[in-house]
Structure 1
């Protein structure tokens, strides 16, 4: 699918990671209709996302699987890894409310997951047309993701994969999937801000039904 072909109106647009970038850009351009489960976490391994979706989020962020791996100074939170899916929370455990040995704000995260997961899965089953956006993924990882989405999504869906690469603009990558558009955008020091002008161009032509 080429870039012009994937544009259009969708019932909902969901981020599938790899970090907060997609959700942030969708919010800025008024395209984030409802929150997704992966909006504000880091999911560096796309196979982990496919595994999570295949399992319909079973045991996601369960307390025994969590471990503190660092501190996000910008967010003022502990970075907490879910070992089951190799997914990292950067925004759920504020430093003043938690300690290196006690994740005291875990109940708030659990409540959020309990609310968002059923809504996300119900949206996959009830929507007529969904767009998923993922940054960073190989062609083989994308093939696995498509297999999982085909099992979970009842209606029509398309997938936009955006990889950062040593390019100077937006470059289309010809992948052999009828409902996938793969693009490359510049690899920059600060991906959350340095490509803002390109994201504006990227998201033009996409709309959501409210």
Structure 2
């Protein structure tokens, strides 16, 4: 089991691994994000699917025939990738897409292909890397670590943050190699926990 002190220090990259946009937002707000990761702005509720996608090196991600429109929020469609349970709710605008036909697909797919290539290249570079995942079980985080071991050529850590009915940050004793697991208050998670993320990130920096 790692504590917060164990995961301080320099990183070559820090990536969000979901399950929503929150980790990417906090990394951006704290200046800990060099570039967008493959799933920064997606909903990725099923962590075993993400672990499977990592083991597959993202093969089959965002295949056109696997995409399905779920609903519409304001000017954007929420598009579901059935292969890996990915929800793209920041990419397909109403004005230039007409489900099931998605004319914007080639540009969006190319963007994600670039992000995937950069992600895999970074993991294979041998640098120290941190991954962040919110709201997942101990068993699913263990599977994630096993998948990351196949990709990372250098040292890595996983910061698992679960939102639960606690008053302040609490450590979780998961006893998983590479993992620091904490609980954080589950009220108004998009705004009220900013200073708690600042505490978590204290002593971390990019090189």
Q: Which residues of 2 match residues 174-185 of structure 1 at below 5 A?
A: 174-185=173-184
Other structure's SS at 1:25 match: helix
SS at match of 2:71: strand
Partner of 2:151: 152
Q: Match for residue 83 of structure 2? A: 84
Where in structure 1 are there 5+ consecutive unaligned residues? none
**1:42-76 alpha-carbon deviations (Å, 9 max, x no partner):** 10011011011010000101100000001233xx3
1:49-104 Cα offsets, whole Å, 9 max, x none, are 1011010000101100000001233xx31000000001100111012121243212
What stretches of structure 2 of length at least 5 have no aligned partner?
none
Q: Find the aligned partners of 2:5 and 2:174 in 1 and give their Cα distance.
A: 15
| Deviation of the 1:191 alpha carbon | 2.1
Task: Measure, in 2, the Cα distance between the counterparts of 1:72 and 1:117.
Answer: 26
CA distance in 2, matches of 1:65, 1:103: 12
State whether residues 172 and 182 of structure 2, in contact with CA within 8 Å, keep that contact through their aligned partners in structure 1.
Answer: yes
> CA contact under 8 A between 2:19 and 2:135: conserved in structure 1?
yes
1:174 positional shift:
1.0
1:207 aligns with 2:205: yes
SS at match of 1:4: helix
Q: 5 Å matches for 1:46-195?
A: 46-73=47-74, 76-188=75-187, 190-195=188-193
Q: How many residues are treated as equivalent by the alignment?
A: 206
What are the superposed Cα offsets for residues 132-167 of structure 1, whole Å, 9 maximum, x if unpaired?
011111110011111111111000000000001000
| TM, length-normalised to structure 1 | 0.94
- Runs of 4+ that moved beyond 2 A: 99-102
What value does the CA root-mean-square deviation take over the aligned residues?
A: 1.1
Aligned to 1:197: 195
Distance 1:127 1:16 in 2: 19
CA distance in 2, matches of 1:61, 1:178: 31
Deviations 1:2-55 (A, max 9, x none): 111111111110110101111111001100012110111110011011011010
- Separation in structure 1 between the aligned mates of residue 147 and residue 15 of structure 2, nearest angstrom: 15
Q: Which residue of 1 aligns with 2:21?
A: 20
